[in-house]
Amino acid sequence: MLKAHVAASLIVFAITAALAAAGAPGGSVPSFYDLKTSYLDGKPADLSVFRGKVTLVVNVASKCGFTPQYEGLEKLHAELSGKGFAVLGFPSNDFGQQEPGTPQEIAQFCKLTYGVTFPMFSKVVTKAGADQSPVYKLLGSSGHLPGWNFSKYVIGKDGRILAFFPSEVTPESAELRGAIMKALAAN
């Protein structure tokens, strides 16, 4: 447990250091909330609507061993949404082709199987390359890109990346919840 806490702290420190360096004179790091994308139904999505909230960005997939995390993500969203928090789901077929469905199939699966009410966005490419989503290009500026489905980024009220957690860290984990609560308590 201590080892995991130290590792999570090092990740937060590394992200903070990278953002500070990138924000030095001559460089700038845009806010996550400056981005535009689209919702799962194809309608435009301006992420600025989440400015002032803490968000948890997750690359999701319907046919993955980590897919049951949808249940914990939905509980987290329901528990904290009234306190200025939202889970944001970004389906991706990058790992093991575990999100092959159409937007309608993904939406139906999430709603019927896990009762998902948090915002879901259009399928994205998380891996670096010409087709990488601008969302994940920005998230990758933290020095971390998903290694598999259900990787998680805690985004602060100002749109800065505060922490990264790999797939194995569940929505119920003390480390993830601690990072979220710390972000919610910040001004």
Strand-pairing partners, residue 59, are 90
The contacts found for 108-117 with CB under 8 angstroms, 24 or more apart, are 109/62, 110/62, 110/70, 113/70, 114/70, 114/71, 114/74, 115/74, 116/70, 116/73, 116/74, 116/89, 117/74, 117/77, 117/78
Considering the domain 2-185 in this protein, what is its CATH number? 3.40.30.10
Q: Which of 155, 1, 169 is nearest to 73 (CA)?
A: 169
pTM over 0.75: yes
Catalytic, out of 47, 64, 154, 162 = 64
Each residue's pLDDT expressed in tens, for the chain with a length of 187 residues: 545 443 444 344 344 434 333 333 344 558 999 999 999 999 999 999 999 999 999 999 999 999 999 999 999 999 999 999 999 999 999 999 999 999 999 999 999 999 999 999 999 999 999 999 999 999 999 999 999 999 999 999 999 999 999 999 999 999 999 999 999 999 7
Query: Which amino acid type is present at position 45?
Result: A
Specify whether 64 is catalytic: yes
Taking the alpha carbons of 61, 66, 67, 69 in that order, is the dihedral positive or negative? negative
- Sketch the domain layout of the chain as residue ranges: 2-185
**How far from 13 is each of 2, 10, 26, 147, 169, CA to CA, in Å?**
16, 5, 22, 20, 18
CA distances from 44 to 35, 76, 82, 130 (A): 11, 25, 24, 22
Q: How far is CA 36 from the centre of its chain?
A: 15
